[in-house]
Amino acid sequence: MWAIELPPFVPFFIGALLILVSRGFLRAAIMLAVPVLGCIHLWMVPEGIHWQTEFLGYQLLPYRVDRLSLVFGYIFHIAAFISVIYSLHVKDTLQQVMSMLYAGSALGAVFAGDLLTLFIFWELLTLSSVFLIWASRTEKAYQAGLRYLVIQVLSGVILLAGAIFYAQQQGSLQFEFIGLEGVAGWLILIAFGIKCAFPFMHSWLIDGYPEATPTGTVFLSVFTTKVAVYALARGFPGTEFLVYIGATMTCFPIFFAIIENDLRRVLSYSLVSQLGFMVVGVGIGTSLAINGAAAHAVTHILYKALLFMTMGAVLYRTGSAKGSELGGLYKSMPWTTGFCIVGAASISAFPLFSGFVSKSMILIAVLSEGYDWVWVMLIFASAGVLHYTGIKIPYFAFFAHDSGIRTTEAPTNMLIAMGISAFLCVMLGVYPQVLYRLLPYDIGYNPYDATHVLAQMQLLFFSALAFAWLNLRGMYPPKLKSVNLDVDWFYRRLLPGIIKPCYAMILKTDASVRSYFMKWFRQFLFYISHHHGPEGLLSRTRPTGNTVMWITILLSCYMAFSFIYSK
């Protein structure tokens, strides 16, 4: 009984502590055992509230289990296990400890039944994940980590403010449907939106993830944003506003990703786009749509982690992830090339791959609820993702031209991790019922109806044809050897451009004021010294006789006045 009441985050936190006091094979065994044993434990936990307490008159539910939290809990354990295998070659205690804390914090947030517990793990997610960026130990990573930290802490502060307002309005901190009634709902939605990379709130992801270590980026791609998707599905299902937010998210990254040179930044843009599909599903809020959002979160974790792993392996072996510097790597890294193609097929939603069986649920739900224009936007985004991820990533990294780079295949542990992810991407695409049985709602759905398969194949075929035509005609946007800024231009260029002149003016004014004050102060000191210094007028010594004479004169005057006025 006590084992059932053990929250899923506890093994990961204990594992983080054990890593600090272990070395070598024992440390690796601990890191592998934690997600495996944790997943087995979670499989045996029944639905319900397993841990509750009271704080300041509010009922807290730190450990609540239902089907929505379970599906995220399972995939988090699986992804943590794969990510640990991928990072076994790394001998960095900081990364190993923080990755365990990061995964545990994500699980703590998913199984939190109240807003206060959610806030605690929300902030722990931030504090543990930023070290995976700083672990690169470069100046760019340090600066990106600072920006990441500021934005993520802001999300936590807004969440806390929303929770306080919600407690005052509802008299409860229970984390259930919140909606947009009142200030509390909007504050909590903004907090969730920052972590979910809503439009104008997404730059922390594009900025931070590519600066993390090759292994750290894999962990980052799994947890933070999917916790936010879960939180939206829990607190705001059926909120129509999210349908349009999500549709926008699916489309705008296309234009930045196509011209981006850094392939890990391309994957970060595509991550935002895929999150948009999930947000649309949450906004529609029907059983099919919520199932689609949860299913797409699962498949996205697998294929996005796989793509980040392949690019991490390329970066690890070549020292670069820029499309302009790569090409021809299929000769040196054939296994990595094959795994990348599986990930590309999955994110592009090819039939028999995992992305197809989850994305189709969202598209059907959108059409069923009459959001025709939103469906058109999602189809456009689907075509776009084939261009900038499904084709661009493997093509420019492995096939575009022979860069002359000759290296060796990725380390064995990296290949095993990529192989597991690739296998799961194919397995879920071929046997989608394995995934569907874990989803929050029991509904009958068959993704492989002839209409949808033919429509998807037509979309993919003509998108690939468009890419080939543009590339052969030399009309495909060139790979710019620069860092492309979007919304972060405002705080990385505009604000410094405003603040630096203002700061210079403040320094100049401060110097003028100081100079004027010091000039006045020196004059004051001169005046004091002139009158009270050793040679000053009031400090000169007088003969004793003169002093007695003046005392006698003053005493005589005093006695004379006293005699006159006494009469």
In whole numbers, what is the pLDDT of the chain averaged over residues?
86
Distance CA 393, CA 308 (A): 10
For residue 534, the model assigns a pLDDT of: 61
- Residue 372 neighbours by CB under 8 Å, 6+ apart: none
Helices (H), 285-323: 287-318
**Segment 40-59, tens digit of pLDDT:** 999 988 888 877 888 877 88
Between the alpha carbon of residue 442 and those of residues 222, 293, 430, 506, 522, the distances in Å are 26, 14, 20, 64, 85
Burial 452-476 (b: 16+ CB within 10 A, else e): beeebeebbeebbeebeeeeeeeeb
**Segment 255-302, tens digit of pLDDT:** 888 888 888 998 999 999 999 999 999 999 999 999 999 999 999 999
* C-alpha dihedral, 316 to 321 to 323 to 324, nearest 10°: -90
**Residues 324 and 263 sit within 8 Å (Cβ to Cβ):** no
CA nearest neighbour of 335 among 352, 318, 310? 310
Maximum Cα interatomic distance, the chain, rounded to a whole number of Å: 132
Q: Which residue has the higher pLDDT, 384 or 430?
A: 430
pTM across the whole model: 0.85
**Segment 405-462, tens digit of pLDDT:** 888 899 999 999 999 999 999 999 999 999 999 999 988 888 888 887 888 888 788 7
For residue 529, the model assigns a pLDDT of: 66
**Segment 165-219, tens digit of pLDDT:** 999 888 888 999 998 888 999 999 999 999 999 988 888 899 889 999 999 999 9
Distance CA 259, CA 218 (A): 23
pLDDT greater than 90 at residue 339: yes
DSSP reduced 3-state for 65: strand
pLDDT greater than 50 at residue 1: no
**Segment 509-539, tens digit of pLDDT:** 777 787 777 777 777 767 766 666 566 555 5
Distance CA 517, CA 526 (A): 14
pLDDT greater than 50 at residue 222: yes
Local structure of residue 328 (DSSP, 8 states): -
Q: Which residue has the higher pLDDT, 2 or 98?
A: 98
**Residues 480 and 373 sit within 8 Å (Cβ to Cβ):** no
Burial 420-433 (b: 16+ CB within 10 A, else e): bbbebbbebbeebe
Distance CA 278, CA 243 (A): 9
Query: What's the Rg (C-alpha) of the chain?
Result: 33
Between the alpha carbon of residue 393 and those of residues 262, 290, 308, 386, the distances in Å are 10, 30, 10, 10
Burial 527-548 (b: 16+ CB within 10 A, else e): eeeeeeeeeeeeeeeeeeeeee
Helix axes 372-385, 263-284, angle to 10 degrees: 160
**Segment 122-164, tens digit of pLDDT:** 999 999 999 999 998 899 899 999 999 999 999 999 999 999 9
* C-alpha dihedral, 105 to 107 to 112 to 115, nearest 10°: 40
For residue 541, the model assigns a pLDDT of: 62
Residue 483: CB atoms within 10 Å:
15
For residue 78, the model assigns a pLDDT of: 96
CA nearest neighbour of 317 among 414, 216, 417, 407? 407
Which span out of 92-96, 229-233, 349-353, 398-402 was modeled with the highest average pLDDT? 229-233
Domain ranges of the chain: 1-236, 239-479, 492-566
